[in-house]
Amino acid sequence: MATTADTSKPPAAQRASRPPDITSVPVRHYGQWVFTVIIIYFAAAILFSLAKNANVQWDVVWEYLFKPLTLRGVVVTIELTVIAMIMGGIGGVVLAVMRLSSNPVLGAVAGFYIWFFRGTPVLVQILVWGYLGALYPTVFLGLPFMGLVFGSWETSAIIGAFAAACLGLGLNEAAYDAELVRAGIMSVSPGQAEAALSLGMPWGMSMYRVVLPQAMRIIIPPFGNNTISMLKTTSLVSVIGGNELLTRLETVWGQTFEIIPLLVVACIWYLFLTTVFSIGQYYLEKHFGKGHSRKGEAADKQKKKPKPAGLVATLETDASKLEQAASDIPEEHR
């Protein structure tokens, strides 16, 4: 069925006969404004009570905020976080590859490791490493069951508080990162690895050059969250005297009994470090998420989406073409 335009009326008259445009009125969300005002009111009340509370002892807070003792604790906290996340990242990749391996022994070992370290609290693991000397007073290098010993050392001499903290945090983190890496690898199409292998790449190179770079888009956000969580988890090291931020402040308040202001100092530093790590996480996500942002996808879809051509728009186009054709006809042939 064909629809023909009514050319008896000029285009201007056709446009004038159109119904008026609909004026949209945005919906008023009065409930949101009410809850916003309530939240701001209570937040301001809490901040005001903290600022005016004499028990906080803000003079003590400013005194210890940048003291060398506090700054050394901050440095140790950052060191523990970085070392634990490096151990967790490398261990997570190895465990994830073992879980995805066709070798049943490797898969079973990786599965047992993840089950054990995710099933026991990290505080318990830190305590076990801290008091490992009570279980094994000495460690030796040699061949078990054969009586060959090349050397032995006291456990407490080689596994101090810092080493025990790194082992407890890093090995526990590896169990969680293994699942993150495994999920990222499984999100990549198997055809990517097959194409790399068909080009002659070894399996390790295809994983390193093709699969893992694509999986990083999935791995980075939860890995960044784990890093921020690890920054705060380092405070558990205080149970074995790890010399990080909270341990040093605990030593001070054990002598001065100024618990609240020193806890405020710890909170300020943890918030600052968390903010810095969050900024780094944002730029990492932006780097590895190139070409996959929601805004970019929406813009591409908008470009590809054809513009709707309604009946009125078609009639206006036809009328404009008729006018143009009529104006091209010479005067003597009209």
Stronger pLDDT, 145 or 321, i.e. the higher one: 145
Task: Report the length, in residues, of the chain.
Answer: 334
Stronger pLDDT, 321 or 265, i.e. the higher one: 265
Query: Would you state the pLDDT for residue 1?
Result: 47
Angle between helices 68-100 and 58-65 (to 10 degrees): 70
Query: CA nearest 170: which of 82, 80, 88, 78?
Result: 88
When mean pLDDT is compared across 100-114, 129-143, 304-318, the lowest value belongs to 304-318
Q: Beta-carbon neighbour count of residue 70 at 10 Å?
A: 21
Task: Give the model confidence (pLDDT) of 152-179 as tens digits.
Answer: 888 888 888 899 999 999 999 999 999 9
pLDDT bin (cut points 50, 70, 90) of residue 26 is confident
Stronger pLDDT, 326 or 258, i.e. the higher one: 258
Helix (H) or strand (E) holding 138: strand 138-143
Query: Would you state the pLDDT for residue 211?
Result: 84
Stronger pLDDT, 313 or 219, i.e. the higher one: 219
When mean pLDDT is compared across 128-132, 148-152, 301-305, the lowest value belongs to 301-305
Q: Report whether pLDDT(302) > 80.
A: no
Which range of 102-106, 217-221, 282-286, 290-294 scores highest in mean pLDDT? It is: 102-106
Q: Report whether pLDDT(263) > 80.
A: yes
Class of residue 17 by CB neighbours under 10 A (exposed 0-12, middle 13-18, buried 19+): exposed
Q: Beta-carbon neighbour count of residue 67 at 10 Å?
A: 14
In this structure, the dihedral spanned by the alpha carbons of residues 190, 192, 193 and 198, taken in order and rounded to 10 degrees, is 120
What percent of the chain is predicted at pLDDT more than 90? 38
Please, where are the H alpha helices in the chain? 11-16, 30-52, 58-65, 68-100, 104-119, 122-130, 132-135, 155-158, 161-187, 190-198, 203-206, 212-233, 245-256, 259-288, 294-304, 311-328
When mean pLDDT is compared across 10-24, 61-75, 76-90, 317-331, the lowest value belongs to 317-331
Q: Give the C-alpha separation, 95 to 98, whole Å.
A: 5
Q: Give the C-alpha separation, 65 to 261, whole Å.
A: 10
Residues near 273 by Cβ (< 8 Å), separated by ≥ 6?
74, 77, 78, 231
Alpha carbon distances (Å) from 273 to 80, 231, 263, 285: 13, 8, 15, 18
Q: Report whether pLDDT(231) > 60.
A: yes
Query: Would you state the pLDDT for residue 311?
Result: 47
In this structure, the dihedral spanned by the alpha carbons of residues 259, 261, 263 and 265, taken in order and rounded to 10 degrees, is -150
Q: Could you give all domains of the chain from N- to C-terminal order, each with its CATH number?
A: 57-289 (1.10.3720.10)
Q: Report whether pLDDT(286) > 90.
A: no
Q: Report whether pLDDT(314) > 60.
A: no
Range 61-67 average pLDDT: 91
Q: Give the C-alpha separation, 5 to 312, whole Å.
A: 9
Give the predicted TM-score (pTM) of the model. Answer: 0.73
Q: Buried (b) or exposed (e) across 274-295, using 16+ Cβ within 10 A?
A: eeebeeebeebeeebbeeeeee
**Torsions phi, psi for 195 (to 5 deg):** -65, -40
Range 22-33 average pLDDT: 80
Range 86-97 average pLDDT: 92
Q: Report whether pLDDT(307) > 80.
A: no
